[in-house]
Chain A
Amino acid sequence: MINLVKEKNPMPEQDPMVRNKNFKEVSTGYTADMAINEAMRCLQCRKKPCTGGCPVRVRIPEFIARIAAGEFEEAYQVISTTSSLPAICGRVCPQENQCEGRCVQGLKGEPVAIGRLERFAADWHREHGSGEAAAQADSNGRKVAVVGSGPAGLACAGDLIAKGYGVTVYESLHKEGGVLAYGIPEFRLPKDIVSSEVSALKDRGVCFINNAVVGMSMTVDELFEDGFEAVFVGTGAGLPQFMNIPGENLLGVYSANEYLTRINLMKAYKPEYDTPIQISRKVAVIGGGNVAMDAARCAKRMGAEEVHIVYRRSMEEIPARQEEIHHAIEEGIHFQLLTNPVAIRGTEKGYVCGLECVEMELGEPDASGRRRPVEKKDSNFVLEVDAVIMAIGTRLNKLILETTENLSANSRGGIGAEEETGATSCPGVFAGGDAVTGAATVILAMGAGKNAADSIDRYLEKRV
């Protein structure tokens, strides 16, 4: 029996004016009835275009059929055959461009809410599952090191342990999860979900070594000396970019990475934590991606009266997910579109007191295919703010490249690696995720981690 309603079951959410003052999760998740009702909207197409849109090939119609039948744990088991982080993917994947973007129901109405259903199955499992660890693969006695415990590293570790390898994950911070821990805020991705995914990997035998900066604490070459036969590098694209405009070192100018890390990883929003952070009244966040939305919504929750997203193109080109923009607007974030910062102004003591901007208009499309913003003459104005957060992207961290002999870079300055296999110029070293591609999405990084796990397995089978 198919549910013919054209719209998705709406996601229950905290009231915007309540949630913009707390860090609790915005979306509270489908109830079992909602999930079954939504699952009934799936046409169970034979061609499964949705699965084709998923970088880790989640068996989507299959798990949705299980939900429709009320077999929630079974639905989770179907997902976990291909994805090690469903509770996370269900929350942060850009489904509109992937699975849901290809859903046949989306042609005449809204696509099936695949992400919400995935989240439902994962949450159900966490709350009601037996808690039994997945069946352990027999150990093959061979060791692989994974550098970085973000989505790429976790996915790679999960697949390798399933294949019987001994896996050790090295993490530079004190907490596992990479961007899932320091970058994505609690209200979008509760940290206990990240912890439980990491614990599940620990239960399956993955060893995590925190506070270990590969490239400094030990080199990749030394990992081989320590007995690892292959190394997967999934260190992400960490270095924040600045605009190189005057005033960027004034007090109150943050990179989004720093601002978000202080809040998400270091819990600056909880009074019992020592982490210092500026308490701002009016904040400008520069950039239009998901990171910009996260920073702006955090600033609001930290008590700012006024928060502006400053983006140089229009709403048409803005790169953040629609859902995040929608949530930000509901929470009272202002959007200063077609606006480009040219300087940051400061007080005598060096504190930020304003952001000088110029209005923009859109010209011809540029290399990215987006219309190129052009400055309007004499349109300068000053936005009165006491903090500026730069969310204009990140560059690649060179620590591993600089300390690993014979490891080549790619044209973007990241680690050079084959897209399909993750193989690099160094035998036994594989790389994937943002460290290779530059900043992208959680699910693409996971896909890269999984592909690398497969090719590490093939590489080591050949090299007996």
Chain B
Amino acid sequence: MYEIISKRRLNSTITWLVIKAPLVARKARPGQFIILRTDEYGERIPLTMAGHDSEKGTIDIIYQAVGKTTLLLDQFEVGDALLDVVGPLGRPTEMEGLKRVAVVGGGTGNALAYPIAKGMYDTGIQVDMIAGFQTKDVVILEEEFRAGTSNLYITTDDGSYGEKGFTTDKLKALIESGEKYDEVVAVGPPVMMKFVCQLTAKYGIKTVVSLTAYMVDGTGMCGGCRVVIGGENKFACVDGPEFDGQLVNWDELIQRNSFYKEQEQEDMVHVCRLTGGVRCHD
């Protein structure tokens, strides 16, 4: 069992959990993910780690309660325990040879961008962080980013906080103003990552994206997380989760990520409306 050590709400839907998982914490690196199962009836879902403490044997996850599993996860309190946590999975973020990087995060994606940005910053890389949100109320991790990056730029779609506009607008402005980046890292909704990649392609800047996909085992066995990179099938769990964004077939990725949306929507309504998030058959 994997005990929840702390729980912190970052905004109305996004939560930060610290979970006891010594086996995972011992080996975790930025960019890697875990698969968790809340209880016997739960799905196995992948979540990128937001951090870890190998001495305390804990890992951090930040998730948005959007589907049935994350809504159930939201019911867990400090002291409760998850049934299964497996990892670390996936390849860690490659940082070798990098001197200056722009990290672009969108919405919940900022949570996944956080360990990458901080991991790079901690190894001495200069990190410009562009954190994009829809509106002021949902801004997360501002303090953490201020402490863990060289420069922080916050954008909001409606201009209610930071600069008005999309992350791509800010990234473009920075590049045009003469900032030179060895690499851009983009983590967020696929549509945002796609537009970041289109932009950076114009300037010839390599861009790494972190992809999420449906998966079961996380070790390459199910093949459910296949993504097309440069015309070739790759498994996000073992070949990724980070890939060269300019080689990703975005339309297919977006389509594949919609596979179970309707089923999930129905399930979620059941969880919220019927049981208030508590399993009724226990």
- Mark A residues whose CB is within 8 Å of B: 172-174, 182, 209-213, 216-218, 238-240, 242, 244, 248-249, 251, 254-255, 257-258, 261-262, 265-266, 272-276, 278, 349-350, 397, 399
Task: Find out whether the CB atom of B252 lies under 8 angstroms from the CB atom of A257.
Answer: no
Query: B75 at the A/B interface (Cβ < 8 Å)?
Result: no
B89 CB contact (under 8 Å) in A210, A216, A242: A216
Task: Find out whether the CB atom of B86 lies under 8 angstroms from the CB atom of A172.
Answer: yes
Residues facing A in B207-237 (CB within 8 A) are 216-224, 226, 228, 233, 235
Of chain B, the residue at the smallest CB distance from A210 is B84
Of chain A, the residue at the smallest CB distance from B261 is A276
Of chain A, the residue at the smallest CB distance from B263 is A276
A211 CB contact (under 8 Å) in B42, B84, B255: B84
Tell me which residues across on chain A come within 8 A of B218, comparing CB atoms: 213
Tell me which residues across on chain A come within 8 A of B263, comparing CB atoms: 276
Residues facing A in B250-270 (CB within 8 A) are 252, 255-256, 258-260, 263-264, 267
Q: A211-B23, A249-B256, A261-B221 are in contact. Are A216 and B69 (CB under 8 A)?
A: no
Tell me which residues across on chain A come within 8 A of B238, comparing CB atoms: 399
A216 CB contact (under 8 Å) in B27, B226, B256: B27
Q: A261-B216, A399-B220 are in contact. Are A217 and B87 (CB under 8 A)?
A: yes
Task: Find out whether the CB atom of A238 lies under 8 angstroms from the CB atom of B220.
Answer: yes
Tell me which residues across on chain A come within 8 A of B259, comparing CB atoms: 251, 278
Tell me which residues across on chain A come within 8 A of B85, comparing CB atoms: 211
Residue-wise, chain B 39-52 has the 8 Å CB interface mask toward A (1 for contact) of: 00111100000000
Q: A240-B221, A399-B220 are in contact. Are A274 and B26 (CB under 8 A)?
A: no
A238 CB contact (under 8 Å) in B88, B221, B252, B267: B221
Task: Find out whether the CB atom of A274 lies under 8 angstroms from the CB atom of B252.
Answer: no
Tell me which residues across on chain B come within 8 A of A261, comparing CB atoms: 216-217, 221-222
Q: A239-B223, A258-B223, A275-B43 are in contact. Are A218 and B27 (CB under 8 A)?
A: yes
Tell me which residues across on chain B come within 8 A of A216, comparing CB atoms: 27, 87-89, 219
Task: Find out whether the CB atom of B23 lies under 8 angstroms from the CB atom of A218.
Answer: yes
Tell me which residues across on chain A come within 8 A of B224, comparing CB atoms: 254-255, 258
Query: B83 at the A/B interface (Cβ < 8 Å)?
Result: yes
Task: Find out whether the CB atom of A397 lies under 8 angstroms from the CB atom of B220.
Answer: yes
A350 CB contact (under 8 Å) in B44, B235, B255, B281: B255
Residues facing A in B49-90 (CB within 8 A) are 68-69, 83-89
Residues facing A in B65-121 (CB within 8 A) are 68-69, 83-89
Q: Tell me the minimal C-beta distance from B92 to chain A in angstroms.
A: 11
Tell me which residues across on chain B come within 8 A of A273, comparing CB atoms: 41
Query: B37 at the A/B interface (Cβ < 8 Å)?
Result: yes
Q: Tell me the minimal C-beta distance from A221 to chain B in angstroms.
A: 13
Tell me which residues across on chain A come within 8 A of B23, comparing CB atoms: 209, 211-212, 217-218
A240 CB contact (under 8 Å) in B44, B83, B222: B222
Q: Tell me the minimal C-beta distance from A327 to chain B in angstroms.
A: 25
A239 to B68, CA, bound (A): 29
Q: Tell me the minimal C-beta distance from B202 to chain A in angstroms.
A: 28
Interface residues on B, range: 35 or more
Tell me which residues across on chain A come within 8 A of B260, comparing CB atoms: 276
Closest 8 CB pairs of A and B: A258-B222, A211-B86, A238-B221, A255-B223, A276-B260, A240-B223, A350-B255, A174-B84
Q: Tell me the minimal C-beta distance from B232 to chain A in angstroms.
A: 10
Q: Tell me the minimal C-beta distance from A22 to chain B in angstroms.
A: 20
A350 to B188, CA, bound (A): 23
Tell me which residues across on chain A come within 8 A of B264, comparing CB atoms: 276
Task: Find out whether the CB atom of A174 lies under 8 angstroms from the CB atom of B37.
Answer: yes
Residue-wise, chain B 159-177 has the 8 Å CB interface mask toward A (1 for contact) of: 0000000000000000000
B219 CB contact (under 8 Å) in A213, A244, A254, A275: A213
A397 to B88, CA, bound (A): 17
A382 to B87, CA, bound (A): 42
Instruction: List 30 contacting pairs A-B, 8 Å CB cutoff, sorted by A.
Output: A173-B86, A182-B221, A209-B23, A211-B84, A213-B87, A213-B89, A216-B88, A218-B23, A238-B219, A239-B220, A248-B233, A249-B226, A249-B228, A251-B258, A255-B223, A257-B223, A258-B224, A261-B216, A261-B221, A261-B222, A266-B43, A272-B41, A273-B41, A274-B69, A274-B267, A276-B260, A278-B259, A349-B255, A350-B255, A350-B258
Q: Tell me the minimal C-beta distance from A322 to chain B in angstroms.
A: 28
A269 to B165, CA, bound (A): 46
Of chain B, the residue at the smallest CB distance from A237 is B221
Of chain A, the residue at the smallest CB distance from B90 is A216
Tell me which residues across on chain B come within 8 A of A249, comparing CB atoms: 226, 228, 233, 252, 256
Task: Find out whether the CB atom of B217 lies under 8 angstroms from the CB atom of A172.
Answer: yes
A217 to B28, CA, bound (A): 8
Tell me which residues across on chain B come within 8 A of A212, comparing CB atoms: 23, 86
Tell me which residues across on chain B come within 8 A of A172, comparing CB atoms: 86, 217, 219
Tell me which residues across on chain A come within 8 A of B88, comparing CB atoms: 216-217
Query: B24 at the A/B interface (Cβ < 8 Å)?
Result: yes
Tell me which residues across on chain B come within 8 A of A217, comparing CB atoms: 23-24, 26-27, 86-88
Q: A211-B84, A213-B87 are in contact. Are A274 and B41 (CB under 8 A)?
A: yes
Tell me which residues across on chain A come within 8 A of B24, comparing CB atoms: 217
A180 to B196, CA, bound (A): 45
Task: Find out whether the CB atom of B221 lies under 8 angstroms from the CB atom of A257.
Answer: yes
